[in-house]
Structure 1
């Protein structure tokens, strides 16, 4: 019989080293599977309309060409004063207007008095109506250069005037207030607002970044962060949808009148005399004047806004005088197709 000889007990450290030695294995190199390569390039998706009426197929269809490349780029929007035909038709979403148009209009109409600045220069010792006109006449081309929307311009003017009611502003800081109001408005509306560096460059380095940021905080504090004001831009779009829905105008006629009314409204924003009128009143009067200038067969129904006849005629008279004085500037602001159709009636000369 063979018996094992006596063995000495193994220390814990030696036992752990022996166990680790058994667990060590040589690394195994994984074999790479052959990569499948596509022999033919990808084919474009079929752009033919899909069956059914869900409308999903419309998302994959390319919009019709407007005749110029890069028309939707920011640079092109800054140079072009009117959207293309496809973009104009997209602005009239009649189904959304049927669902929410009247509710949005009633809400904005009830709130426009709260956001309407009256006599904004009454407590300003250094800012005058002439300096306000000069500043806004400078901001209007700036907003076009950046390709910003008309809504941004309207909010800029509203923010500027409402702040002037609350705080006296020195004459040498008035331009800084203008670009600050523009920045605040663009942050609400635009997807890509202008950078602070770009806005300061427009002021030729007269102000610092810290000054603009400090003034932005002051403006927001004075206005209690209440910035969603109903604007002329909103009411212009609402009345345009309303007249098309009521079959009072064709889509092309309504859009041309809206573009012309927007140009007249831009002129009124720079004139301090028009700050006494509410945005809804100005919008419907600008559309009525645009109908006259375009000589549309069915002019705008002034009773659509629910304003008194006296206020409508007073605002229309001042707008006629404004267009007569600034007719040359207005023609440069309009698209070529509307400029050719637009004519000043004898009452506007």
Structure 2
């Protein structure tokens, strides 16, 4: 309407009429132009809302305006909408308008709406489309969608946003990678009773071997990935081959050599492993056992171990160093225990983090983000978590204390000295 005001001013300029303060004639209604329903030209300390009624423009401040009316200025003035506005009561008066030009705009908006209301219904229906939904439905639908989206974002935060610029984090593919790990983790598991097929060794000997390898791993300062892969190779090999107790230690050091070749940058030489075994085996023995293991496992070293899931789940738990060290202490206790083989790697990782959170917080702690990324609820983790608490209780006692000694050092934050979450046993 401001453009029409300028157009009329130009047409009458030669006649000396400035058209200042002049209201437009009713013939403007014949153009069937849509009115400006939200002119937003109020000047003042508080924001005001203009509403149109049969008596003219009225103004409402933020303190008195109906919340429904805040959205009315964003709709085209149709016949149905104009009738709705006309039926609304108006108790306020028009506040002063800043300039003469703004006053003309306000008057133009009022007279155009009034003329549109009095025009013929056929022209109204032809030129101005009617809204299919009421204003209240549109507002409520929009608000409900916003609330729903906010709830989804709160329940499932993007844990990879901090690594958006890190190409090594492969943020674009990380969800697909872990979906693949979940589908294939069964191939890395062994039967929880595979020791029944062994004739010369038992689960206690396995525990002694792994407890010793954890100390070797600590002395050689190897990566955490190497330890988990070493234990996995040992279990998968023993589940397929019958081994005598004299060669059980040979299986262990050879499995660590293979894991180092897969994970480490600097691999220990065979002579170092011979010295670690107190020269119980020769170089030929280790190389021969290496060939036997890789042929038995068909060179399959790319398996999801609990470590793969630990890193992802710790990220979902927004962990600090204390929670991380305690979680690895608990899950390394589980590596030694033969009974824990009945749980899959992802279950062990999730239960270790859940148990650590409960240990540090003193109460059950498992939020929606952890549940979404681990795919395990608190109830599903409870059996595994209770067994981990029992392992924590007796970690400092008995013969197999390698993990407890390792995590009692300052290098590992003295995580082993934490009080077990015994309330989970109730």
Question: Shorter-chain TM-score: which interval?
Answer: 0.5 to 0.7
Q: Could you tell me how far apart the structure 1 residues matched to 2:422 and 2:381 are?
A: 20
**Cα contact 1:137–1:270 (8 A) shared by 2:** yes
Q: Name 1:303's counterpart in structure 2.
A: 371
Q: Could you tell me how far apart the structure 2 residues matched to 1:297 and 1:133 are?
A: 31
Please report how far the alpha carbon of residue 101 of structure 1 lies from its aligned counterpart in structure 2 after TM superposition.
Answer: 2.4
Root-mean-square deviation (CA, aligned residues, Å) is 2.5
* Correspondent of 1:222 among 296, 300, 311: 296
Distance of aligned partners of 1:179 and 1:225 in 2 relative to their CA distance in 1, 3 Å threshold: same
Deviations 1:133-165 (A, max 9, x none): 110110001001010111101100100000011
Matches within 5 A, 1:191-202: 191-202=265-276
Distance of aligned partners of 1:200 and 1:310 in 2 relative to their CA distance in 1, 3 Å threshold: same
* Correspondent of 1:189 among 246, 257, 263: 263
Q: Name 1:266's counterpart in structure 2.
A: 332
Q: Name 1:158's counterpart in structure 2.
A: 232
**Cα contact 1:291–1:299 (8 A) shared by 2:** yes
For the residue of structure 2 that corresponds to 1:166, the secondary structure is coil
Distance of aligned partners of 1:120 and 1:307 in 2 relative to their CA distance in 1, 3 Å threshold: farther
1:113 aligns with 2:179: no
Q: Could you tell me how far apart the structure 1 residues matched to 2:286 and 2:266 are?
A: 18
Deviations 1:283-327 (A, max 9, x none): 000001111121178933463322476642111111111111115
**Cα contact 1:323–1:348 (8 A) shared by 2:** no
Q: Could you tell me how far apart the structure 1 residues matched to 2:320 and 2:346 are?
A: 17
* Correspondent of 1:208 among 278, 282, 288: 282
Q: Name 2:344's counterpart in structure 1.
A: 278
Distance of aligned partners of 1:205 and 1:232 in 2 relative to their CA distance in 1, 3 Å threshold: same
How many positions carry a matched residue from both structures?
250
Rg bigger for which structure? 2
Distance of aligned partners of 1:192 and 1:120 in 2 relative to their CA distance in 1, 3 Å threshold: farther
Which one has more relative contact order, counting CA pairs under 8 Å at least 6 apart? 1
TM-score under structure 1 length normalisation: 0.66
Q: Could you tell me how far apart the structure 2 residues matched to 1:101 and 1:281 are?
A: 19
Distance of aligned partners of 1:255 and 1:97 in 2 relative to their CA distance in 1, 3 Å threshold: farther
Q: Could you tell me how far apart the structure 2 residues matched to 1:297 and 1:103 are?
A: 33
List structure 1 runs of 4+ shifted beyond 4 angstroms.
308-311, 327-331
TM-score under structure 2 length normalisation: 0.55
Unmatched 5+ residue regions in structure 2? 1-160
